Structure 1
């Protein structure tokens, strides 16, 4: 799908991979609507995009809050047009430092599921109706290698991302032949605040630059070969 003149909704758009995706998709000619809980960092990203001649909008919202989903989507559609591409990027690790499951409280698990799994599910449901009417649309769920590997202390994040991956597979099967596509993309380990929160002693030199990963994700989106689970880590470039 050529993203020029397409309406793209990106959650978690104020920093890290979300910010990088916003910049790359805007440079490619998309109208990007960015969502995050804190509006001020979003406005800075929008200003950066506009300074480069792009079109972007900042929307305050929490994907983990079910009451926020339709107002958030309504505002995005009003500003950027009916959503052509949804990128579910916002996520939470849960409590940091990361803890083994035996020390993890149920409320932390419920919150991780609300943000990492149920929120993306609600947003996808909300955009798919309009996409089906138009016969075209793409939902990109940002995944993780933690969704397929059993890393100690990553339990609630891993489980929530694994659930999102499986929802993606089921939805892709159900949407086959409709003109709509649902994929998950594993970005690999990146030099972001989230990674630093999870692994404070990691060497940033060994981690991918989010901007490079965003370019690979844009390439996947524009390439049109929508395998259900894809890698955007450096080794897949």
Structure 2
């Protein structure tokens, strides 16, 4: 039996990049998927790929930082599957490209990055947690960044939004850890994605592929990590420790 058979896994921003790679990896593991993204065409393409793998999927177009879209998405998923086992807050944006220094950063763009990257995961987690707490079981996995652990010039609101994710992960983890629910975060490291191209357009070094970093998410969604809470994982280090 696959590790994630019948597990209900919800992934935001699942139409491309890491979100798509995670959705397909969990589908191969036997999970039942719930995915959302703002672009419907690409989202439905991922849903079709999931079905080709023999997995069940609910795919809903929506903004994972919009309260009404979140309510609609989660309510439909709970009605369809009955519960949610795993929430992966993956949806995020980089902001203006090229990224301006903070001194020149437009207020409206700054607020939008924080809305999508930090407030969105807060609202999603807040909506999904009650069901997990009632069942005394569940895993929330937030996607962070090296720029969310160290402030770098030129990473603007994106890095600051990930600092918020790291603090929020630790706070949620401390609040719900004794109730059987765990909240952790993953720095997938720099990946070959459209977002990275916008952030580092002249990148001249090797990047990981999204498919290369999914193992740590699979681990954090599994019973193997049932006692792991409030921790920060770096995908490349996780693979090294596992001898892969």
Instruction: Tell me if TM exceeds 0.5.
Output: yes
Any idea what SS the aligned residue of 2:140 has?
Answer: strand
Equivalenced residue count is 235
Q: Counterpart in 2 of 1:165?
A: 166
Any idea what SS the aligned residue of 1:202 has?
Answer: coil
Q: What is the CA distance between 1:119 and its match in structure 2?
A: 0.8
Give distance in 1, aligned partners of 2:162 and 2:196. 15
Any idea what SS the aligned residue of 1:219 has?
Answer: helix
- Taking the TM superposition and a 5 Å limit, the aligned residue runs for 1:57-96 are 57-96=58-97
More divergent stretch after superposition (71-80 vs 11-20)? 71-80
Give distance in 1, aligned partners of 2:230 and 2:159. 18
Counterpart check, 1:121 vs 2:122: yes
Give distance in 1, aligned partners of 2:189 and 2:58. 27
Over aligned residue pairs, what C-alpha RMSD do you find? 1.4
Give distance in 1, aligned partners of 2:136 and 2:237. 34
- Which runs of 5 or more residues in structure 2 are unaligned? 240-244
Q: Counterpart in 1 of 2:215?
A: 215
Runs of 4+ in 1 over 4 A off after TM superposition: none
Q: Counterpart in 2 of 1:148?
A: 149
Q: Counterpart in 2 of 1:37?
A: 38
Q: Counterpart in 1 of 2:194?
A: 193
More divergent stretch after superposition (180-189 vs 66-75)? 66-75
Q: Counterpart in 1 of 2:242?
A: none
Q: What is the CA distance between 1:51 and its match in structure 2?
A: 1.0
Q: Counterpart in 1 of 2:48?
A: 47
Is 2:141–2:217's contact at 8 Å kept on the other side of the alignment? no
Structure having greater relative contact order (Cα 8 Å, sep ≥ 6): 1
Q: Counterpart in 2 of 1:229?
A: 231
Is 2:12–2:37's contact at 8 Å kept on the other side of the alignment? yes
Give distance in 2, aligned partners of 1:93 and 1:3. 31
Any idea what SS the aligned residue of 2:214 has?
Answer: helix
- Which runs of 5 or more residues in structure 1 are unaligned? none
Is 1:32–1:80's contact at 8 Å kept on the other side of the alignment? no
Q: Counterpart in 2 of 1:4?
A: 5
Normalising by structure 1, report the TM-score.
0.94
1:20-49 superposed Cα distances (whole Å, 9 cap, x missing partner): 000011111111111000111111111111
Give distance in 1, aligned partners of 2:174 and 2:217. 21
Pair 1:202–1:103, CA change in 2 (3 A): same
Give distance in 2, aligned partners of 1:216 and 1:163. 21
Give distance in 2, aligned partners of 1:54 and 1:201. 38
Give distance in 2, aligned partners of 1:227 and 1:179. 10
Give distance in 2, aligned partners of 1:220 and 1:158. 23
More divergent stretch after superposition (61-70 vs 218-227)? 218-227
